[in-house]
Structure 1
Amino acid sequence: MSSVVGTRPALTWAVHLSVLFLVALWTLPTLGILVSSFRDKDQLAVSGWWTALVPAERNIVARAAPPEDAVAENGNWIIAGNVFEGSGKATAFGISSREPAAYAVGDTVELRDGGRLTLDATGDYTISYVKKPDGNRGQRIFVTSVEPPKFTTANYRTVLFSEGLGKSFINTMTVTIPATVIPILIAAYAAYALAWMQFPGRALLLATIVGLLVVPLQMSLIPLLRLYNDIGIGKSFIGIWLAHTAFGLPLAIYLLRNYMAGLPREIIESARVDGASDFEIFRKIILPLSFPALASFAIFQFLWVWNDLLVATVFLGNNEEQLVLTGRLRELLGSRGGNWEILTASAFVAIVVPILVFFAMQRYLVRGLLAGSVKGG
């Protein structure tokens, strides 16, 4: 398979298959979230997204109509109804939580109050009494049912029309855009200096920046917040802009410096021979050539800040006026966090803008990252 005349070698096919596998591994969870976001909440709670197109089996607890609704028919008192709110197919039923599937559909069961319960596959039940029953609560019926697939847009309506979502969206944009632009501006100047300017301690400064890449940001949250409170910018947008700038600068400087150091030296030297200053070289030559690297970091920083919850909670808090989108969606889940239908719909609402940004700039991502990783100066 590995001839020189054109047959693709086995290694090429292995690489292609590996890439396809990684793409599938990356996209399948996203597909699962998308499918789950449109599913009925009851079916979502009992079955996985891959079963969305097949009937789902679940257990429900229904309560029959109260005895006061009984009507006289042929000398007996009859209570009738359906256990399903919509459509469904019953496969078994019971009258006790200990044995919820003790009887097959069509069986007749003796109740403790003297009634006789019958349930058919459509969910229709009949309870007959010899004499008029007493009481004000209906009989509990445990049903094992098979329901057809249900899809709904109610999950998205709940998320999109929740109170305060629009304000939180604006707050997130207010945080994300400056927190993306500011570190790029600072890092571009610093990267040029580290790549093309000679000054004492340059190597030590670069090593320090590389070392900062592995420092967990959680270590600095409390000291930084105390500093912000002391100088009067705690719980403000200025504070969170500066925090995200500080957390993003090491990666930004590292990527941009590697990219700029790999630019053709002849161009820089020719500009200096022509009398161009460092600022003119930076503005007229380096910046236009470094756009792929700038775009690469912009994507990373935008995604990081947009999806952030921890830093926003620490430096902005949870007040209604400054609550970001991730904080608002977290509140929709409630204290138990078991509303999976809200969680999945919220996930897609939150990633719409990052997806648009990524696809708008993704052609620069690989170019910037590869150039920054293999070139150096």
Structure 2
Amino acid sequence: MSTTNTEQVVTSAPKLKEPKQERSNLGHLLARSVSSGLVAALVVAIGLLWSVPTFGLFVSSFRPPSLINTTGWWTGLVPPWQFTIQNYMDVIQAQGFGRAFLNSIIIAVPGTIFPLLVGAITAYAFAWMKFPLRNWIFLGIVALQIIPLQIALVPVLGLYTMLGLNGQYAAVWLAHTAFGLPFSIYLLRNFFAALPSDLMESAHIDGASHVRIFWNIILPLSVPALASLAIFQFMWVWNDLLISLIFLGGNPQNAPMTLIIANLVNTYGNNYQVLTAAAFISMALPLVVFFSMQRYFVRGILAGSVKG
């Protein structure tokens, strides 16, 4: 009888714990779903709040001056709607604005390609080539990100003046390339180093040189990191005012949109609707670049963060 009672206790014990385990698992799942739902709701709320100024700028750019001066932009969403494209016509007809848009493209495209190309070549050397003091040199390049670019503007301006580059496109190309290289090398080196080493060893065994490995293997596998870096660099160059003001301020023929919009603030300081239209035109191309490459953005941001 004692043996039977013991077996009954042993067999019945798990059955008593199962409801508690199920309730515990259910509680964990419920807590996890609630926390994930709160995070999702918080992200959506932040995204909407972040988009409100941009949407308000877009609405205001189509409103006539009389309504902008007397009512808020949100009132334009209520019928009857009174929108106009005169603000954009005034901006386009402003002196030098069309030329400034072309200048911004001429500055931004090479100012994005050069740091990507030079940074990718340098990052490959730090990731897969052996040479003396490699880690110390890489540490010094990473440390350059801490140095503010403003302290280098005066000596660089003096050098450009001596070489006759001041006021030329080449001046801002070289400046954006030099100031953008530390971050480019840092991001791409981490991504290149995370690629499988067996792939590189197999290529070397097959007789591939470093140049062929870089162009035929590294670059095709690094599209997410390159696209993410291209977004960062393009946004920085396109929205830059300080470098353009210092190196191109004396040559209005090569002035980008940022300089023209800064001049519009002085010329049309009381015409808020003109400034909104100019600002939204300057935002249009960066938004197109970002949304066309956004699928690579997160993958590029996480480049090299997880090994394997």
TM over 0.5: yes
Partner in structure 1 of residue 53 of structure 2: 29
Answering whether residue 229 of structure 2 is matched by residue 297 of structure 1, we say yes
Answering whether residue 43 of structure 2 is matched by residue 16 of structure 1, we say no
* Cα separation, 2, equivalents of 1:258 and 1:2: 39
Given candidates 155, 158, 164, the residue that maps to 1:226 is: 158
Given candidates 263, 266, 277, the residue that maps to 1:334 is: 266
Higher relative helix content: 2
In structure 2, relative to structure 1, the CA distance for the partners of 1:359 and 1:149 (3 Å cut) is closer
Answering whether residue 289 of structure 2 is matched by residue 266 of structure 1, we say no
Moved more, 308-317 or 5-14: 5-14
Partner in structure 1 of residue 72 of structure 2: 48
Residue identity matched to 1:51: T
Moved more, 361-370 or 272-281: 272-281
Partner in structure 1 of residue 306 of structure 2: 375
* Cα separation, 1, equivalents of 2:143 and 2:126: 15
Gaps of 5+ in 2: 1-23
| TM-fit CA distance, 1:237 | 0.9
Moved more, 221-230 or 324-333: 324-333
1:66-91 per-position Cα deviation (integer Å, ceiling 9, x unaligned): xxxxxxxxxxxxxxxxxxxxxxxxxx
* Cα separation, 1, equivalents of 2:307 and 2:118: 20
* Cα separation, 2, equivalents of 1:367 and 1:201: 30
* Cα separation, 2, equivalents of 1:258 and 1:46: 53
| TM-fit CA distance, 1:25 | 2.4
**Matches of residues 1-377 of structure 1 in structure 2 within 5 Å?**
3=26, 9-53=33-77, 150-335=82-267, 337-372=269-304, 374-375=305-306
Gaps of 5+ in 1: 56-147
For the 8 Å contact 2:268–2:275, the answer to whether it is kept is no
* Cα separation, 2, equivalents of 1:343 and 1:278: 51
Higher relative contact order (CA 8 A, sep 6+): 2
In structure 2, relative to structure 1, the CA distance for the partners of 1:241 and 1:376 (3 Å cut) is farther
Matched residues, number: 284
| TM-fit CA distance, 1:376 | 5.5
For the 8 Å contact 2:231–2:290, the answer to whether it is kept is yes
Higher relative strand content: 1
| TM-fit CA distance, 1:263 | 0.8
For the 8 Å contact 1:259–1:375, the answer to whether it is kept is no
Query: What root-mean-square deviation, in Å, do the aligned CA atoms of Structure 1 and Structure 2 show?
Result: 2.3
* Cα separation, 2, equivalents of 1:196 and 1:235: 39
Residue identity matched to 1:288: P
| TM-fit CA distance, 1:53 | 4.1
* Cα separation, 2, equivalents of 1:278 and 1:46: 65
Kindly, what percent of the aligned residue pairs are identical? 48
For the 8 Å contact 2:141–2:182, the answer to whether it is kept is yes
1:80-107 per-position Cα deviation (integer Å, ceiling 9, x unaligned): xxxxxxxxxxxxxxxxxxxxxxxxxxxx
1:169-200 per-position Cα deviation (integer Å, ceiling 9, x unaligned): 22111111111111111000111111111222
Residue identity matched to 2:173: W
Moved more, 287-296 or 336-345: 336-345
* Cα separation, 1, equivalents of 2:307 and 2:127: 9
CA radius of gyration, larger in: 1
Residue identity matched to 1:280: R
* Cα separation, 1, equivalents of 2:97 and 2:139: 43
For the 8 Å contact 1:183–1:252, the answer to whether it is kept is yes
